[in-house]
Amino acid sequence: MNSLTVYLFVALLLFCIGMFGLLQRRSLIGMIISIELMLNAAGINFMAFNRFLGPDPAVGQIMVLFIMGIAAAEAAIALSLTLALFRKLRSINIEHARDLRG
Amino acid sequence: MAAKLYMFLPETAYLLMGLVLFLLSLPKEQPGGRVYVWALCLSLLGVAAAVAGLPQKGLIFFQAYRVDLYSQLFKLILSVAMFLVVSICWPLTGVERRYKPEFFLFLTTCTLGMMLMVSAVELMTLYLALELSSFSLYILVPLRSGDNIDIEAGVKYLFIGITASCVMLFGISYLYGAAHSTYLADILEKLPLWIHQPAAAIGLLLTLSGFFFKLAVFPFHFWAPDVYQGAANQVTTYIATVSKAAAVALLVRLTSLTGGTSLYLSYILIVLCVVSMGLGNLVAIVQKDLKRMLAYSTIAHAGYILMGILTMNELGYSAAVFYTVAYMIMNFAAFMVVVKLASQGQDLKISDLAGLHRRSPLLALTLMMALFSLAGIPPTVGFTGKFLVFAAAMQQGHFWLVLVGMINATISLYYYLMVIKAAYLAEPETEAPPLVIGMPTRLLNYLLIVVMAYLGIFPQQVMTLAENAVKQLIWGS
């Protein structure tokens, strides 16, 4: 097993953990943390491909920087919505928000 | 330099529009109608800029941004749809008064994101543009005034959207690994050699999932009914029309990267297409809420559009583009009736339509035309769109798929006719007063009815335009 495969395997594992957490967790904060895991899994992939295969060493690093920026923006919107939900329901458990059915 | 700036004209117009709306949102005392007039005039300017940009051609921003007939046609579609949506946003009853300027601001940034998206030919540019449009929509959905359902819809939309975008980013990383480059031109050279291996096909499929989410294709369709019901009627109109165009544009562009030969991808797309059509049509039958029913019909229509895309040839792509234009027109007509009927910005039950033909014969006629078109009854534009898509799939030998599509179209006829029955035959329990609609709305109604009939009978011009645009998709580096 060469080193690229190890990195890709770790990234895939991280992605699956994030996906599992997203489906399993009922608290919005837990779901936001799971999403960060999935984004960082993609970041590891970019860095690994960049280090072992990429012709231009800068591309993967720039990608990862952008991913970090996007993750921050996503967390900001997600947290503000979590706060808005908490103000109305006094809870951040997604199970308690079930008015929309049909 | 000046010529290159001219290529960026439609986007510049929308940037300026966003800036003006941002400045208008700053004062504490919110002026009521002034923001609407500004938004309407500026979006009309945006349409003019998109028309002026139509013949432009070239590559800008370090080859990351491609301006050609394909992207410019979609920018024109986006800007016209944006103008139409803004035009029915007064009186804006569904949105809290102090958020009205922000409402128009985020509509503008969302449209800007989609315009950047249809021109982007570099994966990071593409992803950033997609996120710009998605983030604006995440904020637009919970802006509704009144009860809690808007926040709940917003949370569901946000989390399903972010999940789809994470999956897409993971797919992009595999595409980067396979092609060693983020430029679509490089990927276009290398991918047809790689695509027969599952890894590259999975990378491309994961990348497509970000757009499956926007189009509400199974398995990223869960948000559609809740968001359609929970968001303000005008926002739902926007999501149901404008955001579909950009998603189809990118699905076609990314699928064309395979060079037309990928068995793995086409099998998976067939499964998604069949499940979307079946699920959307069957669940739509039992819905009581009009917007919720239209949401399930959206899922079904996403399946029809996928049928054109999965043929992976120029005929299928141009049929999918035509179907998208048709779908936007008929869906806009249906939602315009919803917006005009729900004068307090409330949700409409299908039973609320009772007696509509007496209250407003024109709105009832538009609704009937739109629903006949969605069901695919000739001579409407919906029939022609379905015919073109089915013909393209048939030509590629997907007989069973076309058969399933036909059966689904028949099922969908049932629930569309139930709505028309409610509007024309059902008697209301208490007689509601006649609806007064102004002259601009009347003109818009006549225009939509004429366009739906005209494009149904004479689709050649739009189809030729779509074919010419799709020819621009394959290019060398």
CATH code, A7: 1.10.287.3510
Query: H or E stretch including A97?
Result: none
A102 contacts chain B (CB < 8 A): yes
Q: Tell me, yes or no, whether A98 lies in a domain.
A: no
Cβ atoms B78, B242 nearer than 8 A: yes
How many interface pairs between A and B have CB atoms less than 8 angstroms apart?
Answer: 113
pLDDT band at A44 (very low <50, low <70, confident <90, very high): very high
Residue A91's φ and ψ, nearest 5 degrees, are -160, 150
Query: What's the mean pLDDT when you consider all of chain B?
Result: 89
What is the count of structural domains for chain A? 1
Distances from the Cα of B330 to the Cα of A77, B371, B407, angstroms: 33, 7, 21
The residue range of the domain holding B104 is 2-471
User: For A9-42, how does the pLDDT look when each residue is reduced to its tens digit (9 = 90+)?
Assistant: 999 999 999 999 998 888 999 999 999 999 999 9
pLDDT for B30 equals 66
| Contact residues, chain B, for A35 at CB < 8 Å | 159, 162-163, 166
Closest residue, chain A, to B292 (C-alpha): A102
Both tokens of B252, joined, read 């076609």
A35 contacts chain B (CB < 8 A): yes
Rounded to the nearest 5 degrees, what angle is found at the Cα of B95, between the Cα atoms of A28 and B24?
Answer: 105
DSSP assignment letter at B58: E
Q: Tell me, yes or no, whether A102 lies in a domain.
A: no
Residues in CB range of B64: below 8 A, 6 or more apart: B120, B121, B122, B125, B183
pLDDT for B297 equals 94
| Contact residues, chain B, for A9 at CB < 8 Å | none
* Min Cα separation B165/chain A (Å): 9
| DSSP three-state, residue B428 | coil
| Contact residues, chain B, for A84 at CB < 8 Å | 142, 151, 154
pLDDT for B270 equals 93
Number of alpha helices (DSSP H) and beta strands (DSSP E) in chain A: 3, 0
* Min Cα separation A17/chain B (Å): 13
Instruction: Kindly determine whether residue B170 and residue A38, on different chains, have CB atoms separated by under 8 Å.
Output: yes
Residues in CB range of B246: below 8 A, 6 or more apart: B74, B78, B114, B117, B118, B133, B214
Closest residue, chain A, to B230 (C-alpha): A100
Q: Tell me, yes or no, whether B318 lies in a domain.
A: yes
Q: Smallest Cβ distance to A77: which of B138, B174, B181?
A: B138
Residue B225 has pLDDT above 80, yes or no: yes
Q: Tell me, yes or no, whether A76 lies in a domain.
A: yes
What is the count of structural domains for chain B? 1
Among A84-93, B138-147, B184-193, B324-333, the range scoring the smallest mean pLDDT is B184-193
Residues in CB range of A38: below 8 A, 6 or more apart: A14, A15, A18, A19, A22, B163, B166, B167, B170
Q: Which residue has the higher pLDDT, B295 or A99?
A: B295
Among B58-67, B320-329, B379-388, the range scoring the smallest mean pLDDT is B58-67
Residues in CB range of B165: below 8 A, 6 or more apart: B127, B130, B131, B134, B210, B213
Using beta carbons and an 8 Å cutoff, which residues of B are at the interface with A?
124, 127-128, 131, 135, 138-139, 142, 147-149, 151-156, 158-159, 162-163, 166-167, 169-170, 172-174, 176-177, 180-182, 225-226, 229-230, 287-289, 292
Distances from the Cα of B76 to the Cα of B47, B71, B316, B416, angstroms: 7, 9, 21, 30
pLDDT for B476 equals 47
- Block residue for tokens 């011009």: B461
pLDDT for B317 equals 92
pLDDT band at B49 (very low <50, low <70, confident <90, very high): very high
* Amino acid found at B296: Y
Q: Tell me, yes or no, whether A11 lies in a domain.
A: yes
Of B307, B313, B315, B211, the C-alpha closest to B259 is B313
Q: Tell me, yes or no, whether A8 lies in a domain.
A: yes
pLDDT for B438 equals 85
Instruction: Kindly determine whether residue B163 and residue A38, on different chains, have CB atoms separated by under 8 Å.
Output: yes
A22 contacts chain B (CB < 8 A): yes
Handedness of CA B197, B199, B200, B204 (dihedral sign): positive
* Min Cα separation A6/chain B (Å): 14
Q: Mean per-residue pLDDT for B236-258?
A: 91
The CA distance from B199 to B387, in Å, is: 35
Residue B143 has pLDDT above 50, yes or no: yes
Q: Tell me, yes or no, whether B476 lies in a domain.
A: no
Among A38-52, A85-99, B309-323, B407-421, the range scoring the smallest mean pLDDT is A85-99
The residue range of the domain holding A28 is 3-93
pLDDT band at B31 (very low <50, low <70, confident <90, very high): low
pLDDT for B304 equals 94
Number of alpha helices (DSSP H) and beta strands (DSSP E) in chain B: 20, 2
Among B3-7, B285-289, B467-471, the range scoring the smallest mean pLDDT is B3-7
| DSSP three-state, residue B120 | strand
Neighbour tally for A63: CB within 10 Å: 25
User: For B51-90, how does the pLDDT look when each residue is reduced to its tens digit (9 = 90+)?
Assistant: 998 888 888 888 888 898 999 999 999 999 999 999 988 7
Among B68-77, B79-88, B188-197, B315-324, the range scoring the smallest mean pLDDT is B188-197
Q: Mean per-residue pLDDT for A61-82?
A: 93
pLDDT for B239 equals 93
pLDDT for B112 equals 95
C-alpha radius of gyration, chain B, whole number? 21
Of A60, A21, A80, the C-alpha closest to B138 is A80
Percent of chain B with pLDDT over 70: 98
User: For B402-418, how does the pLDDT look when each residue is reduced to its tens digit (9 = 90+)?
Assistant: 999 999 999 999 999 99
Instruction: Kindly determine whether residue B169 and residue A66, on different chains, have CB atoms separated by under 8 Å.
Output: no
Q: Which residue has the higher pLDDT, B154 or B434?
A: B154
Residue B477 has pLDDT above 50, yes or no: no
Residue B395 has pLDDT above 70, yes or no: yes
Q: Mean per-residue pLDDT for A46-53?
A: 88
Q: Which residue has the higher pLDDT, B259 or B118?
A: B118
| Contact residues, chain A, for B128 at CB < 8 Å | 66, 70
Q: Tell me, yes or no, whether B477 lies in a domain.
A: no
pLDDT for B328 equals 94
pLDDT band at B184 (very low <50, low <70, confident <90, very high): confident
Q: Tell me, yes or no, whether A100 lies in a domain.
A: no
Instruction: Kindly determine whether residue B225 and residue A102, on different chains, have CB atoms separated by under 8 Å.
Output: yes
Of A92, A98, A81, A95, the C-alpha closest to A28 is A92
Instruction: Kindly determine whether residue A41 and residue B174, on different chains, have CB atoms separated by under 8 Å.
Output: no
Q: Tell me, yes or no, whether B308 lies in a domain.
A: yes
Optimal mutation site among B122, B123, B169, B186, interface A, most CBs of chain A within 10 A: B169
Length of chain B counted residue by residue: 477
Residue B132 has pLDDT above 90, yes or no: yes
Answer left, alpha or beta for residue B342, where phi above 0 means left and psi between -120 and 50 means alpha: beta
A57 contacts chain B (CB < 8 A): no
pLDDT for A59 equals 86
Cβ atoms B122, B176 nearer than 8 A: no
pLDDT for B475 equals 61
* Min Cα separation B121/chain A (Å): 15
